[in-house]
Structure 1
Amino acid sequence: MMRTKARSSRSFTYLALSILGGMLAGTETVVADDKPQWDKTFPQSEKVVHRKVEFKNRYGITLAADLYQPKDRGDKRLPAIAVSGPFGAVKEQSSGLYAQTMAERGFVTLAFDPSYTGESSGEPRNVASPDINTEDFSAAVDFLGLQSSVDRERIGVIGICGWGGMALNAAAVDKRIKAVATSTMYDMSRVMSKGYNDSVTKEDRTQTLEQLSQQRWQDAENGQPEYGPISLELKGGEPQFVVDYAGYYKQPRGFHPRSINSNGSWTVTNPLSFMNMPLLTYVDEISPRPILLIHGEKAHSRYFSETAFEAAAEPKELLIIKGANHVDLYDRVDVIPFDKLASFFVEHLKYHTLARGK
């Protein structure tokens, strides 16, 4: 009985690796228009000014982003927040909703596409990296700190789902980040290496690494990476959390043509670096800067935030949203605690007497 349960849990890992992996089918073309149309999965707010921007990270990859600023801000320098996630999503989805909503509450915000995905550059497409994607957050801080509307001493980050782990990792190494919040956080290095609920054995891990190592030779011989099946094409019998994912990414609610989880997949070898480089090794070094971890009570992923909370040093807070599942915190504005997020960043991105230009 115990063995059957372990196999079932481990199957979640292999399912996750397949549903989070492959080439974006026919979605790389961006149609030019004299008046750019609103291309988000959420309504445009009349309370903010929006524009598309680009900037480079430390590896020379050009990141595409949406900059949101409160209207009628005058010449004041405001606190700023960089936002990204979920894993396999684009800035036109959940991260953009978070960014626009926080801009309505008085912050300059930036929602960006991670390297190799969406409108950002990088080849091959649809590859993730615990290092490069952590750097993406720091590059966003670089960009925000150069804006005349931003007080560079008051910059925070929000990471959603898989980019929650990246946000915590970035805050640990980048001391310019003054506060970090995560929503429905995944530790991607943990789940890829150990499976859901740490159910993967050493033998399973070794077998997976053997297969991925052999795949590298096939990719080298072919001159390009192999991609997995299209994400979230349900066949029946999937775990409920996978059905929930499809209910967001595959439906009008959250579908976007550039999103990997909507109609693409990751490279087959995508898990390799995550399986070898734990993201949250230094989460305790974020202190004395504050951490806010938000998770749904009924989310299958709740244990990621609970473990990170235990490992982190004060000041820290874990907020569990009653009745919410993992995907509810992607876009349900009646469930996402935006009031709490706003008060957290207002409190911890306070005016600093030594702020540049003040």
Structure 2
Amino acid sequence: MTNEVQVTTVESVRFTFTRDGDQLVGSLYLPEHPPTAVVVTTGPLTSVKEQAAGVYAEALARRGFAALAFDHRTFGESAGTPRQLEDPLGKAADIGAAISALGEDARLAGTPIVALGVCAGAGYMARAVADDARIQAFAGVAGVYPDTASAPPDPAVIERGRRAGQRRLATGEAETIPAVSPDGGGDVAMPLVEAYEYYGTARGAVPNYTNGFAVESYEHSPGFDAREAAARLTVPFLLVHSENALVPAWARGFAAAVTSPKSQLWLESAGQIDFYDDPRLIEPAADAAAELFRATVG
């Protein structure tokens, strides 16, 4: 695979749109020349636009694409309650609203739409791509693609989320737990030390990020199945993954279930999180995504 030509100048501008009456806030990265396509990105669990989604959006803008990273509803600068609600289908709906807004932007009129998801965002994006014919190609980077057939959700966890939602409706107060903790233990959403080393330190804890996870999320997240979207994909798909990233078996299973044109790039990573900020992973992943996108829309 050859390295993609880099664009020297990238402009980042504020981009806002709405879903269900709530304003969502994004950063739209624009290359110095007319873009090849518009890439909609979405990132990991609880993340915001200044983290992995923005990193890949900027990398693709350097390769000649317009690219949008945005704060999903209830996260970062975007509106919505309860705050820090991780709702996969809601996030897929956010992606659809973003695409509609991009299509109405005069700077991008008629420009093809493609998609890139990172970590949990790749699973959410799979659902969005399967359900939205406007998206012409899809790349998943270090994606987490839940397969509820092989790993059924714990009913007690879902019930905990349901009860938290009921309490919020009754009292107006949402129950929140940390997204990460220093030792990776306790009642946290991401019980991984490497997650804390990113989200809990200056490495990834940008001012717009909140170390929080609405317990009500457990009503929505555990039962989300990304695998079902694989067979419904009709556009070219690129899998970028590592043996040391999260659940490579799910990634292989998802890719195997895809019947549209597909390709894979397996890289060597230390774990999952270095896909978010290590140029040695970001650059080849962005090169491969750009190659797919150009081949699709060119």
Scaled by the length of structure 2, what TM-score is found? 0.87
**Equivalent in the alignment of 1:308:** 254
Map 1:268-287; keep pairs closer than 5 Å.
268-287=215-234
The verdict on how the C-alpha distance between 1:211 and 1:79 changes in structure 2, with shifts beyond 3 A counting, is closer
- The one-character-per-residue Cα deviations of 1:115-151 (angstroms, maximum 9, x if unpaired) are 1101111122111222221011112211222233325
Question: Percentage identity across aligned positions?
Answer: 27
The verdict on how the C-alpha distance between 1:148 and 1:236 changes in structure 2, with shifts beyond 3 A counting, is closer
Superposed displacement of residue 224, structure 1: 1.8
Q: Which amino acid aligns with 1:349?
A: V
Match of 1:249 among 172, 180, 199: 199
Q: Which amino acid aligns with 1:226?
A: E
**Equivalent in the alignment of 1:47:** 9
Q: Which moved more, 1:148-157 or 1:81-90?
A: 148-157
Q: How many residues align?
A: 287
Map 1:1-358; keep pairs closer than 5 Å.
47-57=9-19, 59-71=20-32, 73=33, 76=34, 78-150=36-108, 152=110, 154-187=112-145, 190=147, 198=151, 205-228=154-177, 230-235=178-183, 242-260=192-210, 264-287=211-234, 289-336=235-282, 337=284, 338-350=286-298
- CA contact 2:46–2:179 (8 Å) conserved in 1: no
Partners of 2:40 and 2:127 in 1: CA distance: 14
Partners of 1:160 and 1:277 in 2: CA distance: 16
Structure 2 residues not aligned, in runs of 5+ = 1-6
Per the alignment, in what secondary structure is the counterpart of residue 112 of structure 2? strand
* Root mean square deviation of aligned Cα: 2.5
Q: Which amino acid aligns with 2:135?
A: I
Structure 1 residues not aligned, in runs of 5+ = 1-44, 351-358
Superposed displacement of residue 276, structure 1: 4.0
- CA contact 2:44–2:119 (8 Å) conserved in 1: yes
Superposed displacement of residue 265, structure 1: 1.3
- The one-character-per-residue Cα deviations of 1:131-173 (angstroms, maximum 9, x if unpaired) are 2210111122112222333253521011111111111111101
Q: Which amino acid aligns with 1:283?
A: A
Partners of 2:93 and 2:127 in 1: CA distance: 9
Superposed displacement of residue 327, structure 1: 1.0
**Equivalent in the alignment of 1:354:** none
Per the alignment, in what secondary structure is the counterpart of residue 54 of structure 2? helix
User: Which fold has the larger relative contact order, with Cα–Cα distance below 8 Å and residues 6 or more apart in sequence?
Assistant: 1
Partners of 1:85 and 1:153 in 2: CA distance: 23
- The one-character-per-residue Cα deviations of 1:53-102 (angstroms, maximum 9, x if unpaired) are 21113x2221100011112x2xx464110112111111011111111111
- CA contact 1:182–1:292 (8 Å) conserved in 2: yes
The verdict on how the C-alpha distance between 1:133 and 1:323 changes in structure 2, with shifts beyond 3 A counting, is closer
Partners of 2:43 and 2:181 in 1: CA distance: 21
- CA contact 2:14–2:27 (8 Å) conserved in 1: yes
Per the alignment, in what secondary structure is the counterpart of residue 214 of structure 2? coil
- CA contact 2:141–2:240 (8 Å) conserved in 1: yes
- CA contact 1:78–1:151 (8 Å) conserved in 2: no
Partners of 1:323 and 1:213 in 2: CA distance: 37
Scaled by the length of structure 1, what TM-score is found? 0.73
- CA contact 1:77–1:148 (8 Å) conserved in 2: no
The verdict on how the C-alpha distance between 1:251 and 1:161 changes in structure 2, with shifts beyond 3 A counting, is same
